[in-house]
Structure 1
Amino acid sequence: MDDRFNTAAGWVLFAGIVALGSSIASGMFFHADSGELPEGAEPGYFIEGEAAEGGADAGPDLGTLLASADAAAGERVFAKCTACHTIDQGGANGIGPNLYGTMGKAIAGHAGFAYSSALTDKGGEWTWEAMDAWLTSPRAFANGTKMSFAGLSKPEDRANVMEFMATYGGAPAKPEPAAPEAEAEEGAEGAASVAGEEPSEAEAAGAMGADEPVAAANAAGDNEGATKID
């Protein structure tokens, strides 16, 4: 019994040594650790990916977003803010100040609320642009602010929230949408290039054919051999 066990154990150990040696040899040949291919070898296939073409599109400008902003949609997004803020006129301060009449007013200007120095030192007014920057990232707008809200990443959400806030106490004039200058210039250049091009031979022949009179089929001919039909 012991002889058979020792024999079997020996063969298992021998097989393990052979397998380990084969693994080491194949790794050295195929450069498994370096990821390189043997000389003359070709990869089976490549996985192609999309090349990066720069950052994400910034989207419409603030004026264009505000022109189509929806106060009702903004009210739904503003529900996130009600844990810390009230917005009704005369509403009490909470963790954050009451927001009635905030748009167009001085930053950190709500009486009776203890703002952080990051906001009190900011200065200026809550313009549409300033509020958009604040809603994007309060900490980026005023580093050191006590407000822990991370911000609204979607420009449409910010525009809708500001439109909703403007219905509570008013707001300054909105910024104008940016004029589509690029499209207008492109169209003008295209028209100019077409106007400056000379007509092709086919177009020229067609134009001449339209201007030149065409002889009738039964017109009299004076050439020799022609038949004259009255």
Structure 2
Amino acid sequence: MQIKLSALLVLAMAGQPAAQAAPDLEAGKRAFATCASCHQVGRSARAGFGPHLHGVFGRKAGTTADFHYSPAMKNASIVWTEQTLAAFLKSPGDVVPGNKMRFWGMTSDEKIANLLAYLRSVQ
């Protein structure tokens, strides 16, 4: 009987998702190094080759005043959240077809989570 209960418990737990590790801010900062050639973060951030990312969470896409966005981004009905940013970072052209960002996407969900945690930390 004890073996059957243990086996049932193991089977039941096998269907449960593993607990996700907390995002790694240092890894996120390293991931942002790729972004930093076009984007700035922090209170003094300004647009450069890309829009600044200060205050990006909760902001409507294509709305920072100091950057000239593509029509596609200006007309996107997206508010940047963890979910929308993660999807955009994974596949920018699928989320906003016709956007002018020259970034082909990140394939690692862990790297995206770390990057988003870093962005949150510098807001």
> Quick check: TM above 0.5?
yes
Which of the residues 134, 154, 160 maps onto 2:114? 160
* Alpha-carbon distance in 2 for matches of 1:117, 1:100: 22
Aligned to 1:80: 34
* Alpha-carbon distance in 2 for matches of 1:116, 1:70: 32
Aligned to 2:88: 134
Answer yes or no: is 1:121 the counterpart of 2:75: yes
Query: After TM superposition, what 4+ stretches of structure 1 lie above 2 angstroms from structure 2?
Result: none
Answer yes or no: is 1:70 the counterpart of 2:24: yes
Answer yes or no: is 1:145 the counterpart of 2:99: yes
* Alpha-carbon distance in 2 for matches of 1:100, 1:168: 8
Which of the residues 54, 61, 65 maps onto 1:107? 61
Is the contact between residue 101 and residue 168 of structure 1 (CA under 8 Å) also seen in structure 2?
no
Give, as a single letter, the amino acid of the residue that structure 2 aligns with 1:155.
D
Indicate the RMSD between aligned Cα atoms, in angstroms.
Answer: 1.8
1:8-34, Cα deviation, whole Å (9 max, x unpaired): xxxxxxxxxxxxxxxxxxxxxxxxxxx
Aligned length: 107
Identity %: 34
Is the contact between residue 46 and residue 66 of structure 2 (CA under 8 Å) also seen in structure 1?
no
TM-score by length of 1: 0.44
Q: Which runs of 5+ in 1 are unaligned?
A: 1-59, 170-230
Is the contact between residue 73 and residue 160 of structure 1 (CA under 8 Å) also seen in structure 2?
yes
TM-score by length of 2: 0.79
* Alpha-carbon distance in 1 for matches of 2:45, 2:78: 24
Larger radius of gyration: 1
1:21-53, Cα deviation, whole Å (9 max, x unpaired): xxxxxxxxxxxxxxxxxxxxxxxxxxxxxxxxx
Q: Secondary structure at the match of 2:36?
A: helix
1:89-113, Cα deviation, whole Å (9 max, x unpaired): 1222111011111112211121221
* Alpha-carbon distance in 2 for matches of 1:167, 1:107: 20
Q: Which runs of 5+ in 2 are unaligned?
A: 1-16
